[in-house]
Structure formats: C-alpha cells, structure tokens
Amino acid sequence: MRTLSLAFAALAVASLPVRADDTSAVLAAGELVLEKTDRIALAAEDLYLSEQVVRIDYRFRNLADADIETTVAFPMPDITGDPATLVSIPDPARDNFLRVATEVDGRLVESQVEQRAFLARSGSPPVEITDRLKALDIPLMPTVEATEVALRRIGEGQRRALAEAGILERQVHKDGTIADVPVWRLTSKLWHRQVFPAGREIVVRQSYAPSLGGQSSLSFGSPDLDPSQQAQYVARFCTDAAFEKVAQALYRRASADGSRAFQAYEQYLTHVIASGDNRAGPIGTFRLVVDKGDPATLVSFCGSNVKKTGPTTYEMVAKDYVPQRDIDVLFLKIGHRG
C-alpha cells in the first residue's frame, strides 16, 4: 500500500524534554468479528477515527436466499495489572470499559459482556482464575480501586495465598509496608446474536471511546532520536521527510522557550482492522476519515490517496479493499501549561 503522511500545524509553541516515565501504552481496539461464513459480504465500511470517539458503519449483505443468524462480537483489548505499564482506560469502573455501543439499522442493540481472568506463567499455558477471583468477590478488572479495596477486605492469609499462586505480586516498600499488586490478565468481549435477512443489507454502527497511548513531551523531531527509533515511527505511522521537518521545527521552537509556558506532546491511536477471513470477499467500498480535532495538531498515518477534506479531517477511499495492516495514528499536540 502506497503511504502518505500529512503535517499541518502552527509552530509558535513549546515542548518539554522527553521523559520515558511519562509514557503510556495504547490499548488497541478493533472491529466486529462474525462467525466464519462465506455468505455474508461487507458491501461498505466507513471508519471514523478521532481522539474522542471511533465510529464504524458497516453495510453487510446476506448473499444467501435464507436468513442467517450468527454471533457478532467486539473483542476488547486485554488489560493486565502489570505495575510497570501505564495505560489509559476510558471507563475502568465498568465492564464495558471502552463505552462500546452497537446499533443495527438505527436501533440500539444490547450486547452481552464476557470477561475472563488468566494468570500467565513463563513457559506455561495461561491458567484461568476467573472463578477463584469471583469466589472472593474480587473484581476482574485488575487496575481499579474497587479491586484494591476487595483485596484489603479478604485478609492477609488469603492475600498471601494469592501471592504464592502468582496472582498477586508482593512489593515491600522502604517503610516496611506491603503492597499486593494484581498481575493477572483480563480478556473481554461484547457479543450479540444477529439475524442477517436473506438477500438484504443491514447497517451496523459500532462506536467506542479509544484508549490513547502517548507521552507528556515530544520525542519525534528531537535531535536525540536515533535511527532505529526514527525507523519505528516510519514503519508505524508512515512519517516522511516533510512531516519530520515540521516536527523538528516544532521541537526547536519548544526548546528555545525558556518559560516552559507551552508544551508539545505525542498521542497514539491504534485501530485493529479485521482480516476478512470470517466474511465473503474484500470490503466493497472502504472509507477512512481521520479527524485530528485541533487544527494546530500534527497528524501522520498510513494510507493511499489521502485527501484533506476539512480543517481537521483527512479521507481515504478504496474499492475492493483488503486490509493489510492495522491503522496507527500519530498526533503531535500542542497544549498550554496553566
């Protein structure tokens, strides 16, 4: 796929030095997955990506002469309690932590949420611990305050048993206090049963709040960026020489501002594209819109024949589209430190 990166921004801004401890990882979410069939085609898909919301409008066509009922699922990104990894979770207190919503022909559909917890051991298959956690009334989400409260409630003996099983990681602080950190992995998906009428099309709209990765300062454009790091940006976001030149100017202006009144920082969005193995043929018409929100933001992503369609929007349209990779978007953003 031919690539194109886009850069449009004002440059009178400032940035902070790169600090690795301010980096957060992106949780990659994606698209609806159907049970494997060669009788349902995806006639069209409109994908809208922004920092606030992701929307996907699918136009499915049943190629058969009889109704097809199948399971339609939305796999959620896995979440671990790894204390070394910082992630942004839009709504961590809810099972539907990405605020996923599904509509079919304009009507809201109620989906079921399936969640399971696993303990991963090096060199061994994952072990499911869902029932063990539920028996102790411990929430399956490993990163929320409710889980911490539940762990304190069960008592030292049970916490020690969970630590010995590898479900908790015991950390001893300098003052002698002990912190029990959940280290299990939560897998989640939303699903519902859907009837695809014979010989007809239905429109399914899926929306969710994306989990954004990023860092609180600017790395791309820095003179300290080594060739291997630069290559990672090129491979993931298709940054080109023009984009890099604008980012470098942004970084220089930032470094020259001794007041540190402004900041420039990076955010990342990843949308997982379904391979198409579970449906009939390629996507008839695929339309991608990336909205950077603020006109001053720099944006770069991979695409073919991308056009600027508005002050903040960029569009790509392809016929008989076969996805080759997930969509990664880089935002270089400008903020004011109050």
Query: In Å, how far are 69, 214, 271, 300 from 268, measured between CA atoms?
Result: 37, 6, 10, 10
Q: Which of 16-25, 151-160, 212-221 has the lowest mean pLDDT?
A: 16-25
Total number of domains in the chain: 1
- pLDDT, position 259: 53
β-strand 54-62 against 40-49: which pairing, if any?
Answer: antiparallel
pLDDT in tens, 199-245: 999 999 999 999 999 988 789 999 999 999 999 999 999 999 999 99
Q: Tell me if residue 175 falls in helix, strand or coil.
A: coil
Residue 330 within a domain: yes
Phi and psi at residue 35, in whole multiples of 5°? -60, 145
- Find the CATH number of the domain harbouring 292: 2.60.40.3680
Residue 266 within a domain: yes
Higher pLDDT, 255 or 223: 223
- pLDDT, position 260: 64
Residue 225 within a domain: yes
Residue 5 within a domain: no
- pLDDT, position 248: 92
pLDDT in tens, 124-137: 899 999 999 999 99
DSSP state of 120: -
pLDDT in tens, 8-18: 333 222 222 33
Q: Determine the Cα angle at 228 with ends 294 and 335, to 5°.
A: 20
Residue 253 within a domain: yes
Higher pLDDT, 68 or 35: 68
- Element holding 145 (H helix, E strand): helix 145-154
pLDDT band at 45 (very low <50, low <70, confident <90, very high): very high
Side chain identity at residue 210, one-letter code: P
Put simply, whether the predicted model's pTM sits higher than 0.85 gets the answer yes
CA distance 33 to 110: 16
Give me the domain span that covers residue 245: 20-111+189-336
Residue 207 within a domain: yes
CA distance 40 to 62: 5
Higher pLDDT, 77 or 81: 77
In which region does residue 44 sit, left (phi positive, over 0), alpha (psi from -120 to 50) or beta (all else)? Answer: beta
Residue 288 within a domain: yes
